[in-house]
A and B are shown apart, each in its own frame.
Chain A
Amino acid sequence: MRSPRTLHGGLEARHSSPSYTLGKRRTDHNLLIPEADLKGLGAELHYTQRGGDITFHGPHQAILYPIISLRSIGIGARNYVETLERSMIEFASVYGVKARAGHKGETGVWVGDRKIGAIGVRISSGITSHGLAFNIDPDLKYFEHIVPCGIADKEVTSLRRETDDMLLPSEEVIHEQLVSCLAKAFSYDDVVWKEDPSFILDNQEEYKD
């Protein structure tokens, strides 16, 4: 019988100025305007090693990057991504928003046919980097310049849009709630915010864009 031991995970919560990011497959054909025009929009373009297609990151999104050793909890990419989806769905339900996981080939979180949460992950030696972006109240016009996640003809939405005239709490509170849904989904009971990420980053290779 195994004696109980403690597993640790990290999570990076990011705030982004407007930027478009591409995954490993470099699907730049899904950027609908010339790269030179991005500056005029106040946006940047970043290439990453994550999975997934092109997406937009900007203010008023919850951008969360769990740093977890999947091997230590014995799950693979599929279960990990499904757990991220479930966390966002549960979080949305707190606001009465009925979200669902994507159909085959449409990983992410949807409200009807409108995408509210995106996922793009990298797993290296079983350790996760990148993660999810949930739209709280970003400027959705930025999404018009891309084919979001490579899926044409589907809208992008936000918590703000789906909750209509509901009074939402501060973004900080919303963030904490989503983080707590994530921690719960991965069975983490003890959660502490720290300023210095070095203890998480010690054995990780690059995980930033």
Chain B
Amino acid sequence: MAARFLWASRAASHLRISVAQRGFASVVLKDLKYADSHEWVKIDGNKATFGITDHAQDHLGDVVYVELPDLGRSVSQGESFGAVESVKATSDINSPVSGKVVEVNEVLTESPGLVNTSPYEEGWIIKVELSDAGEVEKLMDSDKYSKFCEEEDAKH
């Protein structure tokens, strides 16, 4: 397959993409931790449940497919473990902490839209057994994450 390549640059401060601004701020829950790739984690002893945040689901569009990892598989902080598909785009989901997958939310196979309608509850994606509890320190708390989302949205 032949290809040609183009290199483009622009000034970061120019706001020229016209995007319809949504009037609401995304939901951020106080007792969760957050990764900068927009996944949330709920820690319960040495188990962690995670999914993607309200900000993430809003920016993805309607989720039509969730690719879940196999049980028993290891996941590493910051690395991809699955994907969601929305609007003809597959987006990798990254693991906010390292561990072993002990449960996956099979319901998402039939009802992937739960990721949009209930991102923090019914739309949870996997549960892992933590391999390094210290990693949680590297995540953001709700206030930091809210600010992070505001700053990211202000870039365009």
Contacts and interface: CB of A to CB of B under 8 A. Distances in A.
29 contacts: A2-B13, A4-B13, A5-B11, A6-B9, A6-B10, A8-B8, A11-B6, A12-B6, A14-B1, A15-B3, A23-B90, A24-B67, A24-B85, A71-B152, A73-B155, A74-B153, A78-B59, A78-B60, A79-B17, A82-B87, A105-B64, A121-B89, A122-B91, A123-B91, A124-B92, A186-B10, A195-B5, A197-B3, A197-B5
Nearest to B155: A74
Interface stretch (A35-43, A44-52, A138-146, A161-169): A44-52
Contacts, number: 185
Interface of B: 1-14, 16-17, 19, 37, 56, 58-62, 64-65, 67, 80, 83, 85-92, 94, 152-156
Contacts of A154: none
Contacts of B56: 76
A192 B12 contact: no
A185 B17 contact: yes
A209 interface: yes
A8 B37 contact: no
Nearest to A191: B8
Given A72-B155, A73-B155, A74-B153, A11 B8 contact: yes
Interface residues of A, number: 67
Of A76, A78, A80, A82, most buried by chain B (CB within 10 Å of CB) is A76
A24 B10 contact: no
Given A2-B13, A187-B14, A80 B89 contact: yes
Interface of A: 2, 4-17, 23-25, 49-52, 71-83, 104-105, 107-108, 119-126, 149, 179, 183, 185-197, 199-200, 208-209
Contacts of B94: 125
Nearest to B154: A74
B117 to A, nearest CB: 15
Most buried by A among B4, B6, B154: B6
Contact of B4 (A119, A124, A185, A193): A193
A209 B3 CA distance: 12
A199 B11 CA distance: 19
A78 B7 contact: no
A8 B9 contact: yes
Given A107-B88, A108-B88, A83 B6 contact: no
